[in-house]
Chain A
Amino acid sequence: MRNRRALCGCVLLGLLLSLSIAGPLVSPWGWDDTDFTAFRQGPSARHWFGTTPSGRDVFALTLRGAQKSLLIGVSVAVVSTGLAALFGTVAGFVGGWTDRVLMWGVDLLLVLPSLLVLAVLSPRLGGHWLLLVPLLAAFLWMVTARAVRAMTLSVRERESVLAARFLGVGTPRLIARHIVPQLASLLVVDASVNVSVAVIAESALSFLGIGVRAPDVSLGTLIADGRGAATTYPWPFGCAAGLLVLIVLAVNLLGDGLRDVLDPLSPSRGGGR
């Protein structure tokens, strides 16, 4: 890979992924263990990142949170980019009223304050973190869908697509086999951008207490718990916040690098190379 940024992001993300998967296996403490002999301590050989005021191991907690954040982030990105691909291509390809109604729905969802809807709905759907995925994805696909639609409009007129159409290929098959593959680079780039958006959104919700909830932890809940004492006792806050920043940074680098490599019309082409 010639792109330095993409490479940096990829390596960093790989490291974080392997840390969040391998870390809990190496750590002597489970994320829900409580050490009644160590409350609110700094890093030591026993507790690598220190302990929380209630005696839980910060290393284990942070990695558990990172796992959750990454899992939610990636699933949300995949679902929302899938939605964008579906609605965008259908709107662009079918056109007419379907197009108008779909794009109007996109506008409406953009105006609707997503945080309010999430705050109202998420406590009422039960506490399971998996439910956050469709909720977050529902508010992340609109801008991508617009871009997908615009590109579909031009791809639709290409000879290969026209030829397939005149051979009698049906609309669903045309979209799946002839349109979507031509948009692949846009979709890949967008999915990677959406990962960082989703990771931040998830931790923001959890920070407010309406995302992942106790007893389960995510980076957002850890930051919320740790911030009260952050000026005097920074370990829980610092570890969780640092890991969150590293994840987002890695994904952003990867996304921008991919955009430079895959998208010849990218506005940031050549930047930082």
Chain B
Amino acid sequence: MAAFLLRRLANYAVLVVLAASLAYLLAAAALTPRANYEGRAPRPPEAVVDAQLTRFNLNDRTPLAERYGTWVAGLARGDFGRTWQGEPVNAELWRRLGVSLRLLVLGAVLGSALGVLAGAYAAVRRGRTADLLVTFLSYLVLAVPVFVLAVLLQIVASRTNQATGLRVFEWVGETTPGASDGPFGALGGLGDRVRHLLLPTATIALAQFALYSRYQRSMMLDVLQADFVRTARAKGLRRRDALLRHGLRTALIPMTTYFAYTSGLLLLGGMFTEKLFGWHGVGEWLIDSVTRGDVNAVAAVNCVAAAAVLLAGMASDVMYGVLDPRVRTGAVA
């Protein structure tokens, strides 16, 4: 198992380094942070702009190879460089990463867990009302892009707020300023955060739910016909135990591959969700940084995204190993 994981890790690491480098080179070659200065009034002198850009390693007149060298040297010290305004990228990155993770982890865990359960249940109740309901729901949600889903939820939420006369749902930002100064103190602040978290989490969870319930249903349908489930029943296990311990576990194995695949989709969906709900997370930063030509910020987000895909890939390998004993003993691999 260890050797198998190490080999995978080495393979992934090379890919991530290459992908991060390519993305930096692309961003550095194509984006123009200089334009930010040229739009200013009064327009700063050329020499000043040059000096400023060089200081932040953003000068497009420095050869690309030299800039890349500086960037890699900084990265080796764990420094992602500076934004075009001179703030360190690291601090901003960690702050925004926290915001994004709060949103994504909750939504993803909730959505995938519910999706797997609903998919498995639908497969067991194949052809009945529950199955039709889950299938219909997942079809519908899969056809709704995240940026439409988010707006639809906002419309529903604003109608609900109007109907009840309360601010049950919030859909702008992470908190309301001054929420914890109310009569309930810190508790009110927590409640406010939860209310802000509801809709964006629901957006991400719904999208994940649709994907996972679809996959899980078809995997489970295959497994239900399998001989070993019948054997488990024949040796005296109750139907539920046979389905959970033998059926669901086996049906989860192919799902681990999807886990790595959907993590990429999750990052993308998170980007739209952040943008639409006014969360200042990593995804929003990437979109804004591309429009501002902020090369170092773009490269940093990209490094994190590549690392996240790597982690998801590793996690899916580990899960594969845990669920499928043949991988551990090296019979497959």
Contact = CB atoms under 8 A, between A and B. Distances in A.
**Bound together:** yes
B221 A271 contact: yes
Interface in B200-246: 217-219, 221-222
Contacts, number: 108
B322 interface: no
Q: State the majority secondary structure of interface residues on B.
A: helix
Contacts of B221: 267-271
A108 B19 contact: yes
Nearest to B152: A241
B109 interface: no
The size bracket of the interface on B is 35 or more
Given A116-B27, A116-B302, A271-B218, A108 B18 contact: yes
A79 to B, nearest CB: 21
A230 B154 contact: yes
Contacts of B261: 143
Contacts of A230: 151, 154-155
Contacts of B264: 110
A203 B147 CA distance: 10
A160 B310 CA distance: 41
Nearest to B268: A115
Contacts of B302: 113, 116
B287 interface: yes
A114 B268 CA distance: 10
The size bracket of the interface on A is 35 or more
Interface in A239-268: 241, 244-246, 248-249, 252-253, 267-268
Given A111-B15, A113-B305, A245-B143, A234 B155 contact: yes
A113 B299 CA distance: 11
Interface string B168-187: 00000000000000000000
Interface string A98-127: 000000000110111101110111001000
Nearest to B254: A267
Q: Which among B145, B219, B222 has the highest number of chain A CB atoms within 10 Å? A: B145
12 contacts: A113-B306, A204-B272, A223-B147, A223-B151, A234-B155, A237-B151, A244-B145, A248-B142, A249-B139, A253-B139, A268-B217, A268-B221
Given A115-B271, A120-B31, 13 more contacts: A111-B306, A113-B23, A113-B305, A116-B290, A119-B287, A204-B145, A227-B147, A245-B140, A252-B139, A252-B142, A252-B143, A267-B222, A271-B221
